[in-house]
Structure 1
Amino acid sequence: MRIAIAADHNGVRLKARLTAWLTAHGHEVTDRGSHSETEIVDYPPLCADVSRRVGDGRADAGIIVGGSGQGEVIACNKIRGVRAGLGHTSFMVEISRGNNDANVLVLGTKVITDDEAERLLALWLATPFKGGVHARRVDQITALEA
């Protein structure tokens, strides 16, 4: 799978760990920044960059790492074709993929541990979209973009 990943200054360390994990599991990862824990970076441009790559097909999925992830999920969902889900718990991850066919996962380093983030990422990647009634709802969400 082609995955675009980005993080603000809060998530640089975790982004590096997740990039290594993804690569070790056979994914093609494109790191879109940032690369410094000391330089304060605004997350909206990073979210837009990753989300546009997902939206236009240059990436199959996106991963964003921020402090809480809350602002990041809002920013990602402004981009056409993106359904970003906030992944703080197994339940949230399973719903975002299974019910909402999320194509961007947002993680918050101030909310979950690095080990939890890795486990949640693996769960997100392994969870299939259920389709059925959920496909109808995803189609309705997509129609909101028109």
Structure 2
Amino acid sequence: MKVAVGNDHRGLCVRPRVLGLLAELGHEVHDLGASGPAGVDYPDYAIPVAEEVAAGKADRGVLICATGHGMCIAANKVHGIRAVNSRDVIDAELSRRHNDSNILCLAADLLGEDQIERIIRAWLLTDFEGGRHTRRREKVDAYEKSHENRT
């Protein structure tokens, strides 16, 4: 699987471990994250990752900032993105099974590295269940499509 990764300056501390984990799991990684400690703006990293996923250049994305909130909000502005902010393994698994999430947002300031690793592993290994969840996802997709040209 190809995974696009982005982080701002607050996510820099866990970036090496995330990149290492993804490589260890055999994923192709496209690193779009900030590489230095200077303050940067999370949309400058969230949007390119989301665009890669939406365009099919990456299968999934992982975004890391202080709380995960800013990255999640920015990524969800891109058509076709279902970004979630997960704080535990169950949350990550359910976001895949029920919502077919395609971007995982993580809180570097609130989660330890071991917890982040467990969340990423669970999220990557969990499949979308389909069934009734497909119908629900299709309703969201239809709304998004019907409003894509509004200003």
TM-score for both structures, normalised by structure 1: 0.96
Question: Which whole-Å CA distance do the structure 2 matches of 1:25 and 1:92 have between them?
Answer: 21
* SS state at 2:61 partner: strand
* Alignment partner, residue 45 of structure 2: 46
* Alignment partner, residue 2 of structure 2: 2
* Alignment partner, residue 14 of structure 1: 14
Task: Provide structure 2 residue ranges, at least 5 long, that are not aligned to the other structure.
Answer: 146-151
Partner letter of residue 84 of structure 1?
A
> Is 1:118 aligned to 2:113, yes or no?
no
Are the counterparts in 1 of residues 13 and 108 from structure 2 also a CA contact under 8 Å? no
> Is 1:136 aligned to 2:142, yes or no?
no
Post-superposition, which runs of at least 4 consecutive aligned residues in structure 1 deviate over 4 A?
A: none
Q: Deviations over 1:59-91 (max 9, x none)?
A: 000000010011111111110111001111122
* Alignment partner, residue 76 of structure 1: 75
Q: Percent identity?
A: 37
Task: Provide structure 1 residue ranges, at least 5 long, that are not aligned to the other structure.
Answer: none
Offset at residue 13 of structure 1 (A) = 2.2
Partner letter of residue 52 of structure 2?
R
Question: Which whole-Å CA distance do the structure 2 matches of 1:94 and 1:113 have between them?
Answer: 18
Question: Which whole-Å CA distance do the structure 2 matches of 1:78 and 1:11 have between them?
Answer: 21
Deviates more, 1:10-19 or 1:116-125: 10-19
* SS state at 1:54 partner: helix
Larger radius of gyration: 2
Question: Which whole-Å CA distance do the structure 1 matches of 2:7 and 2:21 have between them?
Answer: 16
TM-score for both structures, normalised by structure 2: 0.93
Question: Which whole-Å CA distance do the structure 1 matches of 2:141 and 2:129 have between them?
Answer: 17
Question: Which whole-Å CA distance do the structure 2 matches of 1:143 and 1:72 have between them?
Answer: 24
